[in-house]
Amino acid sequence: MTKFHVIIPAAGSGSRMATVLPKQYLPLAGRPIVSWTLEPFLTCERIASVHLVLSADDAHWQAHATHHPKLSTLHCGGETRAETVLNALKVLNVEPSDWILVHDAARPGLTHQLLDYLLDEVEDDEVGGLLAIPLADTLKRADAKQRVASTEPREGLWQAQTPQMFRYGILKEALIKSGGAPTDEAQAVEALGLSPKLVTGQLRNLKITYPQDLALAEAIIAADHHEAKK
């Protein structure tokens, strides 16, 4: 039977957060961000294994470790996100047809419902797919002085989120050929001439990138608690 495995690349420095601690370890509602990120995968029965990929010199995971029989940690982070994911694929012992879901370590708002929706929408797909949101705002291109150079048409544009899910064989081939440059997995698969499926995501599945994103994520978690208590 085709299995679902998860890779969480967590070897980035998160320089846009301007914090000493890598962003996945920053506290969010009393727990490190990465512990929220891991939860929907560890508690979803359809997911067979979860692999958190750390940089070789990660000095923080030990202090924040979550233990779970489905979770393994790999200390093989690369120079780029694509290299980190490829390094993990090289050590996974799975079937070429198994699904690999790649999810950002600092995307703590994924829900079980959204994860299930993605799995349902993509599991019979030839190519694979990703969560994404149609662009809502008007797009401006900036010049070197941070003045508007032009307004870009937004028709047909989507903002890519994660998880992005592809079969092991396709994803490995795509990332080997990509040379480590793509900023997401779909881009590497597109370069093979394939068209990944866009599955409508949700704003709550935001990636913590800037300091103000933390407050937004806290508010979402607080609202979840409030809902759960009703």
Binding-site ranges for ligand C5P (CB under 6 A): 9-12, 53, 77-81, 84, 104-106, 207, 209
Closest among 19, 44, 54, 78 to 210, alpha carbons compared: 19
Q: Spell 36-74 as b/e; 16+ CB within 10 A means b.
A: bbbbbbeebeebebbbbbbbeebebbeeeebeeebbebb
Comparing CB distances to ligand C5P, the nearer of 49 and 161 is 161
- Using the minimum distance from each CB to ligand C5P, give the nearer residue, 23 or 204: 23
Least distance in angstroms from the C-beta of 92 to ligand C5P: 15
Closest CB 58 distance from ligand C5P, rounded Å: 10
Which residue lies nearer to ligand C5P by CB, 60 or 125? 60
The tokens describing 52, both together, are: 């958190």
* Residue of minimal Cβ distance to ligand C5P: 12
For the bound state, the minimum distance from the C-beta of residue 36 to ligand C5P, rounded and expressed in Å, comes to 13
- Which of residues 2 and 159 has its CB atom nearest to ligand C5P in the complex? 159
Residue 187 token pair: 């881009």
Q: How far is the CB of 220 from ligand C5P (least distance, A)?
A: 18
* The Cα angle at residue 216 between residues 211 and 219, in degrees rounded to 5: 135
Would you say 9 or 129 has its CB closer to ligand C5P? Answer: 9
What whole-number distance in Å separates Cα of residue 6 and Cα of residue 25? 19
The closest alpha carbon to 137, from 126, 153, 148, 122, belongs to: 153
Q: How far is the CB of 10 from ligand C5P (least distance, A)?
A: 5
